[in-house]
Structure 1
Amino acid sequence: MVDKIKAKYFGPAKDAELEKRVTGIGGFFFKSKNPKEMVAWYGKYLGLKTDDYGSTFWWKDKEGNDCSTQWSPFADDTTYFAPSEKQFMQNFRVDDLENLLKKLSEEGVTIVGDMESYEYGKFGWILDIEGNKIELWEPIDKVFQ
């Protein structure tokens, strides 16, 4: 019975390693009228350890690896969330971005732009069914430590 319920809501069981896609939340980004004041407010009143980009939360995955999640306000007029018109953008951590983008494209998911690589990881973007832009990040966490 439990397996039927799981299958109904989560789809059929699959080999976790073969189907590993998202491994965690990489960040939460949102638009703000004044990002610097917003960062300062969260630092002062909620105790977030902040820098010019917002706040980085450190945690360990189930294998004990150091991982990070970024919280960042962006300027109201940012075009970084485009083509989405929403006030926020999710960022998900992934293991193998290049192959994941290929699979998602084959599955009919809208890919936005080209994959970009930096010293701290690779980035790619997709749209969900409501047009929300989602950033996919294959991180290199050790660069931040």
Structure 2
Amino acid sequence: MKKVTGIGGIFFKCKDPKKVNEWYQKHLGLNTGPYGASFEWYQEADSTKKATTQWTPFEEKTKYFEPSGKDFMINYRVENLEALVEELKKEGVVIVDQIETYDYGKFVHIMDVEGNKVELWEPLGE
């Protein structure tokens, strides 16, 4: 069973996300918006299928990364999120919340062995 298929996003805390977005746009050319920047690429297995990786600065006081106390969170792209969550439960991995589905994918959060909150994402409709 395939598990992680790539990095879905990098999320980090900062004092002023708007200012950080503007700085990265001005100095490094990122095409930023309210949710950061998306990097498009093509999947290795099928070079006709476009995919994205998300880069997003969050407010310094965000609670989105809790219960982790870290200033970052990595989002991993996965296949078949429901089956993976069932397997992770059997392996004793802490599942933080329930799977949520949006028009762009399914998400769930887990905790790694060092207490880092990890976001798992099964993309839909790319």
TM over 0.5: yes
Could you tell me whether the CA contact under 8 Å between 1:27 and 1:71 is conserved in 2? Answer: yes
- For 1:71, give the aligned amino acid: W
- For 1:84, give the aligned amino acid: S
Question: What is the number of residues matched between the two proteins?
Answer: 124
Higher relative CO (Cα under 8 Å, sequence separation at least 6) belongs to: 2
2:23 pairs, out of 41, 56, 59, with 41
1:113 pairs, out of 93, 97, 100, with 97
Aligned residue number for residue 70 of structure 2: 86
Secondary structure of the equivalent of 1:51?
Answer: coil
Aligned residue number for residue 21 of structure 1: 3
- For 2:13, give the aligned amino acid: K
Q: Residues of 1 paired with 2:25 and 2:60: CA distance?
A: 20
Which structure has the larger Rg? 1
1:141 Cα deviation after fit: 4.6
Does residue 96 in structure 1 map to residue 80 in structure 2? yes
Q: Residues of 2 paired with 1:101 and 1:109: CA distance?
A: 9
Question: Which runs of no fewer than 5 residues in structure 1 stay unpaired?
Answer: 1-18
Provide, for residues 102-140 of structure 1, a one-character-per-residue CA deviation record: whole Å limited to 9, x for no partner.
101111111101110111110011100100000000012
1:58 Cα deviation after fit: 0.3
1:31 Cα deviation after fit: 0.2
Structure with greater helix percent: 1
Aligned residue number for residue 136 of structure 1: 120
Q: Residues of 2 paired with 1:24 and 1:56: CA distance?
A: 14
Q: What TM-score do you get using the length of structure 1 for normalisation?
A: 0.84
Provide, for residues 51-84 of structure 1, a one-character-per-residue CA deviation record: whole Å limited to 9, x for no partner.
1110000001111111100000000111110100
